Amino acid sequence: MSSLFDFDKPADAYAVMGNPISHSRSPQIHAAFAQQTGQRIVYTATQVDPGGFEQAVGNFFANGGKGLNITVPFKTEAWRLAGELGPEAERAGAVNTLLMNAKGILVGRNTDGIGLVRDILHNHGGSIAGKKILLVGAGGAARGVVQPLLAEAPVQLLIVNRTASRAHELAADFNILDNKTTLITGSGFDDLATQHFDLIINATAASLQGEVPPLPDETCTANTWCYDMMYSAEPTPFMRWAEQHDAEKSVDGLGMLVEQAAESFFHWRGVRPDTAPVIQTIRAQLLNA
């Protein structure tokens, strides 16, 4: 509850930690959320040296900090450091959000997957329930989104990866869950044969190298939605591949970025910001840069 004297209190402190960090849009996104919802926070970006992560987190909370976002390369370390994990974070093996609960326990959450799901469902009007999904990649980015995708009850989740063994391992990790709805399998690109999918999600780092994962043409039909977890001003190489294959829709991951931030904000402040104007602002900045 607010009081007449609230203005005497310093604003609650939040930060994103990573290395490098100067490119991070999180301070801008959270400042926009705070302004929109009337929450008094300060949100900064902190570059942390390799080996200094645990200390940096400890110092931040000891100094009264309220919450952290964690980005490359510290998401796995944050997962290990957390004393308690959200259900979505357990098998993700990575944490992008930290907060201290009332008992003084460091709680780790992973909002990336829910960010992806919300972007697909709410911002783009897509559906996941009952759909056949191809998840491309088996690294940290792919692992982080599997549980929230499964929670939407697709009929199939096929994980495909350049190194097929990693795809098999990731599928096996989620097959031990009590899941009767979704057929979860792993595969290499060569074994995809003539299958086609309702939704293809690119969670590889290929776009960063200007490359497209070697997907067979048949995977994409005129009814397929293609989602690249990367984003940029220009359509990504994977989005161009989707357009060449007459996909129904091809989108980048800017909405996911803003949605994962909104979910973190909700965990910290208990308030859900409106993401649409923030996505719009960042898109405009990207296009005008």
- Among candidates 193, 195, 203, which has minimal Cα distance to 167? 203
> If binding is defined by CB under 6 A, does position 89 make contact with ligand ATR?
no
Number of residues that bind ligand ATR (CB under 6 A): 16
**Whole-number minimum distance, CB 75 to ligand ATR, in Å?**
8
Task: Identify whether 75 is a catalytic site residue.
Answer: yes
The reply on whether position 186 binds ligand ATR by CB under 6 A is: no
Residue 190 binds ligand ATR, judged by CB under 6 A: no
Rule CB under 6 A: is residue 217 a binding residue for ligand ATR?
Answer: no
Residue 32 or 160 with smaller CB distance to ligand ATR? 160
Catalytic residue among 75, 103, 132, 180: 75
Q: Kindly state whether residue 113 participates in binding ligand ATR, applying the rule CB under 6 A.
A: no
Q: Is 91 in the site for ligand ATR (CB under 6 A)?
A: no
Pairing verdict, β 225-228 and 249-251:
parallel
Strands (DSSP E) found in the chain? 12-18, 41-47, 67-70, 84-85, 97-100, 106-109, 132-136, 156-160, 183-187, 199-202, 225-228, 249-251
Shortest distance, CB of residue 208 to ligand ATR, whole angstroms? 8
Using rule CB under 6 A, residue 209 touches ligand ATR: yes
Q: Which residue, 246, 151, 237, 252, is CA-closest to 196?
A: 246
Beta-carbon contacts of residue 237 (< 8 Å; ≥ 6 apart): 206, 207, 210, 211, 212
Q: Is 162 in the site for ligand ATR (CB under 6 A)?
A: yes
Any idea what the Cα angle at residue 265 is, between residues 131 and 14, rounded to 5°? 140
CB of 167 to ligand ATR, least distance (A): 8
The catalytic residue positions are 75
